[in-house]
Structure 1
Amino acid sequence: MDHPVSGAGPAGAEAPRPTAAPDRRLVEGRTIDAVPEDERHGRPRDLFAVWFAANISPLTIVSGTIAPLVFDLGLWPAIAAVTLGNLLGGFLMALHAAQGPRLGVPQMIQSRGQFGSHGSLLVTLVVVFMYAGWFASNLVIAGQALHRSVPAVDISAWLVLCGLAGLVVAIVGYDLIHRVGRWATVLTLSLLALCAVRVLLTPGVLERAMKATGFTVSGFVGMTAIGILLQITYAPYVSDYTRYMPAHAASRRSTLWFTYWGSVLGSVLPMFLGIVMGIAVADDAIAGLDTVLGGTLSAVVLCSFAVIVVHVNSMNLYGTSLCLITAAQTFRHRWLPGRPARTALIAAPLALGLTLALAFQDTFLASYTDFLAILQYVLIPWTAINLVDFYLVRRGHYDVPSFFAPGGGVYGRVNGPAVLVYAVSFALEVPFMHTSAYTGPVAGALGGIDLSWAVGLLVPSVAYWLIARRRTAAVPHGTTAAAPAPALPQEGS
């Protein structure tokens, strides 16, 4: 069954074609095409469960251990940095979520409105790398947890099994991911509460955590930046899970706040546990949980955490497939894959993620910290340009048919000013960078304080706003998601 996206926009697109009937089959049929109003469904409050469950995972606990183990922060400075970072980053991430109901398209398609159809390719391919990194990181943690519960099975085998399980959920698609998120929320919250109680009641743990008072400005800023980044890394795909929501204003507001609190609370709570674990229990958070919980309880909890990883990685595979389709459709503007091709594109990134997981499982924490730093440098300028364009320049008004038109429609192949602002912003970040492999001159002079995230947020926000507000008056605002997009035939489904 085909799902053409019908209609024509001011860019001179083709004549309208009838819209297909709403598709409610088990396996999702749509990919990157605009979702028409008659297929919109779901409740914004369900988004709380999706993002709460996506964040309460072993990897988030490990992220909390970075505060004491990498940045040498004591308990209260670490908690303050984690809270501040997630509150700030979560709001930026949730602003992207509200774009989904408004436009009805995935985030990387919407990014064509700022960078042009070809100009957006760079960030799209960076996001594919990001997905692979998250997929691999989650697999390593799940494999370690399952190996501790069932030592007879090698970690590598567990990595493959968890990867394949996530693949199945991703192939079914959007609705199943939402359903899994709902029951996973109950499971994850219960597990987190159980772990917290056992850890805090273990003799000596709370006392050692309370005595840790380490603090450096560079460490506090670095951990705050990680909190911001953990939220912003969702920005390139958060609206992928809101684009089926109804487009009215009340839905958009609810989408923002349910996404915000689900993601923030789902992050800070396990990170708090990770901070305590890093200070008082062990360098290896998974080993520490195994020791504290002990016996059968440890096996149940660690296996359950692995199940949560399956949910998170299904989102990573699903998002990767949308990015790959977006990249391909840039050069074949009339093509959208049906179910078989979509399935193949979801399966393809599995090999890359597994390869990374197997390669870096022995040096995980150091590799993971540098991975977060790299994402920070490339994603924050993009998110600044995207949000300024959507909320301050165009105020949510886009010509959706142009997203799919040959040559990028009214947005063109490359929006030179946006690409230039992005490139200059990235270059200005370089002196402020601080990683294990490179420290910029400004970061060195500041004692290792990495302020590249602030540069990457403020510079493109101001520069792009000053440039774009003068140019947008000459470009038609066009339609939003309520209007259909050009007809794009899909392959057989």
Structure 2
Amino acid sequence: MQRSPAGPVPASYDTGRDLAGSVESRGIDCVPDAERHGRARELFPVWAAPNVSYLSFVVGGTLVLMGLSLPETMAVIATGNLFWLLTGFIAVSGPAAGTSGSVISRAMYGVVGNKFVVALTGWLISSLYLALNWSAASTAGIGMTAQLGMAQSAALDVVVVCLIAAVTIVIAIYGHATIVRLYGAVSVFLTLVFLALSAMVLGHADWSYAPAEPLTGTEHLVVLASGLTLVASAPLSYANSPDLARYLPRHTSGRAVTLWTAFGAYLPSVLFTGVGALAATTLDMSDPQAALESVMPPWFVPTFVTAVVVNTMANNGLTAYSSGLSMQSIGVRLPRMFTVLVVGAIGTAMTLFALLVFDFLTAVNTMMELVVVVTGPCMAVYATDIVLRRNRYDGELLHDQSRTSPFWYRAGVNWAGMLATLGGAGAAALCAGSTSWTGPLAAAMGGVNLALPVGVLGAAALYAVLTRVLGTIPEAAGRR
């Protein structure tokens, strides 16, 4: 029996194996240089597959329903999705350290402080996303069983949910190499299906569309800010990009890692969110699935539903994979395969509860409107740390959790990172405006939601100042 930093590893495992079709045995432990492989361009399909998405159509339709004109909607879509560059930028730390982002963040928060941050952002919020996505896919799948004439029952609903969850978890268990290989084919399939759907939608679009009552004044600013936050919340929810890049050779171009990651997500997100906006010019996107199915020939509907389910599996596959690593990083001493199973079981239970017992999704959706308040500052602190350290991370030192570790700081906490994140999140909450919460500063400005710029820029600036004041980044870390 071998051991890894996360706990025992069965002797039958080959610790260095990262082959498509084989279960990845490595968890958060460092990937040695001799086992690094691949090229940055492999990241493009990895990030395209989750973002060739039915959700993009929904978000585009929502922006038009909010009252924006078509040019404004397209500008919000193009601008909000630029935050994928931030997702791509933090991915560069993966090849540098050779370990997961949930371990690298010990540099920002300290050995002990990092456990609390990762438990919230890398595990709890990720589990909620699993439940949300599985619920949406299961609803589509359950609807398909009704169209096929199958008798509807709670037992059938459970079967559909468990089947979708099981396939997703298998993808996450097989891990990195399988994801890289599989998602290339998945992204091609999804792109073909959604391009076909886009052609059907564009044939019904009103290119001269204008809102019946154009927005003006403060109300106009409120909707623009809310729309931008809605679009940006997707890239700001993916702090796991280092996990998918950590097997790349150490000296892989940081620019290449950033751009291939960002473009893989940005291009399909912009394209299909834009199509969703055009769909809303003539279709009732308050019920997006029914609206989109109304422009499809009957034979295409099963293909569309299959694509929705496959996209959800691709999205949740990445989430479950990184959540398993996050559980290891906070101290759960189990091999990665078993932590993924634990995450999957919790997410499945949440999904079943949402669909069969209680209107859990309403509460979760309300909370997710404000998720950018937390995830924005966390990603800003991470990106700022990369800049200040010039992406110089020692994976072996990051795994040292003793009191002599350079990342123990004070009582195991890097107060520069903790205070910057809490300060950014607090300021963002004061400036947030949503259907569930309006901060006092947002209320004073007529409801304009400035949580995104205030949280991101505020946390970044505060972290840069506090690291200098507290001396938490050694001067040598910033030298080449």
**Is the pair's TM-score, using the shorter chain for normalization, greater than 0.5?**
yes
Q: Are 1:328 and 2:316 matched, yes or no?
A: no
Whole-angstrom CA distance in 2 between matches of 1:360 and 1:185: 34
- Select 1:92's aligned residue among 83, 86, 96: 86
Are positions 1:120 and 2:114 aligned together?
yes
Deviation at 1:407, TM superposition (A): 3.3
Does residue 354 (structure 1) correspond to residue 351 (structure 2)? The answer is yes
1:136–1:342 distance in 2 versus 1, CA, 3 Å: closer
Q: Structure 2 counterpart of 1:199, which letter?
A: V
Q: Distance in 1 between matches of 2:394 and 2:322?
A: 23
Q: Which residue of 1 aligns with 2:342?
A: 345
SS in 1 for 2:406: helix
> Does the CA-based 8 Å contact 1:62-1:274 persist in structure 2?
yes
| Shift in Å, 1:107 | 0.8
**8 Å contact 2:57–2:273 — kept in the other structure?**
yes
Secondary structure of 1:219 counterpart: helix
**Deviation digits for residues 72-125 of structure 1 (CA, Å, limit 9, x no counterpart):** 2232211211110101x1111111111111111111111100110111122212
Corresponding residue SS for 1:411: coil
- Relative to structure 1, the CA distance from residue 265 to residue 362 in structure 2 (aligned partners, 3 Å threshold; closer, same or farther) is farther
Partners of 2:478 and 2:342 lie apart in 1 by 32
The one of 226, 232, 243 aligned to 1:228: 232
Structure 1 residues 344 and 142: CA distance shift in structure 2, 3 A: closer
Match of 1:300 in 2: 303
CA drift of 1:226 comes to 1.9
Distance in 2 of aligned mates of 1:324 and 1:77: 41
In the alignment, the residues of structure 2 paired with residue 411 and residue 339 of structure 1 have an alpha-carbon distance, to the nearest angstrom, of 24
State the alpha-carbon separation in 1 of the partners of residues 266 and 478 from structure 2: 34
Give the structure 2 partner of residue 248 of structure 1. Answer: 251
Q: Which runs of 5+ in 1 are unaligned?
A: 6-19, 330-334, 481-493
Query: What does residue range 250-399 of structure 1 map to in structure 2 within 5 Å?
Result: 250=253, 252-282=254-284, 283-328=286-331, 337-338=334-335, 341-342=338-339, 344-355=341-352, 357-358=354-355, 370-391=366-387, 393-399=388-394
Q: Is the 8 A contact 1:136 1:353 kept in 2?
A: yes
1:404 to 399, 405, 408: 399
Q: Where do 1:394-473 residues align within 5 Å?
A: 394-407=389-402, 409-412=405-408, 413-470=412-469, 471-472=471-472
Counterpart check, 1:218 vs 2:215: no
> Residue 310 of structure 1: CA displacement?
1.4
8 Å CA contact retained: 2:138, 2:160: yes
What is the DSSP-based 3-state SS (H/G/I as helix, E as strand, rest coil) of the residue aligned with 1:280?
A: coil
Whole-angstrom CA distance in 1 between matches of 2:448 and 2:55: 24
Which of 27, 30, 36 aligns to 1:34? It is 30
Asked if the contact 1:398/1:479 (under 8 Å) is kept, the reply is no
Asked if structure 1 preserves the Cα contact closer than 8 Å seen for 2:51 and 2:268, the reply is yes
Of 48, 63, 66 in structure 1, the residue corresponding to residue 62 of structure 2 is 66
Q: 1:130 corresponds to which residue?
A: 125
- Give me the whole-angstrom Cα distance separating, in 2, the residues matched to 1:359 and 1:400: 44
Seen in structure 2, the aligned counterparts of structure 1 residues 32 and 352 have a Cα distance that, compared at 3 Å, is: farther
Which residue of 1 is the match for residue 143 of structure 2?
148
Distance 1:429 1:118 in 2: 25
Q: Which residue of 2 aligns with 1:162?
A: 164
* Aligned residue type for 1:427: G
Counterpart amino acid of residue 304 in structure 1? A
Query: Do 1:163 and 1:354's aligned partners in 2 also have CA atoms closer than 8 Å?
Result: no
Q: Which amino acid aligns with 1:231?
A: P
Task: Give distance in 1, aligned partners of 2:395 and 2:27.
Answer: 15
1:178 aligns with 2:214: no
Q: Are residues 240 and 479 of structure 1, via their aligned partners in 2, closer, same or farther at CA, if it must alter by over 3 Å?
A: farther
Distance 2:45 2:85 in 1: 17
1:421–1:464 CA contact under 8 A, matched in 2: yes
Q: Which moved more, 1:399-408 or 1:132-141?
A: 399-408
1:410-436, Cα deviation, whole Å (9 max, x unpaired): 111101222122222222223212122
Q: How many Å separate the matches in 1 of 2:478 and 2:2?
A: 26
Alpha-carbon shift at residue 352 of structure 1 (Å): 4.2
Please name the residue that 1:206 is paired with: 206
RMSD: 2.7
In the alignment, structure 2 segments of 5+ residues that lack a partner are: 6-13
Equivalenced residues, count? 452
Alignment partners' CA distance in 2, 1:421 and 1:339: 31
Matching of residues 95-106 of structure 1 within 5 Å: 95-106=89-100
TM-superposed CA distance for 1:476, in Å, is 5.9
Partner deviation per Cα, 1:201-220 (whole Å, 9 max, x = no partner): 13xx4258466674421111
Tell me, in whole angstroms, the C-alpha distance in 2 between the residues paired with 1:437 and 1:133: 18
| TM-score for the superposition, normalised by structure 1 | 0.84
TM-score where L is the length of structure 2:
0.87
Find the partner of 1:196 among 191, 195, 198: 198
Higher mean Cα deviation, 149-158 or 74-83? Answer: 149-158
**In structure 1, distance between residues paired with 2:34 and 2:294:** 53
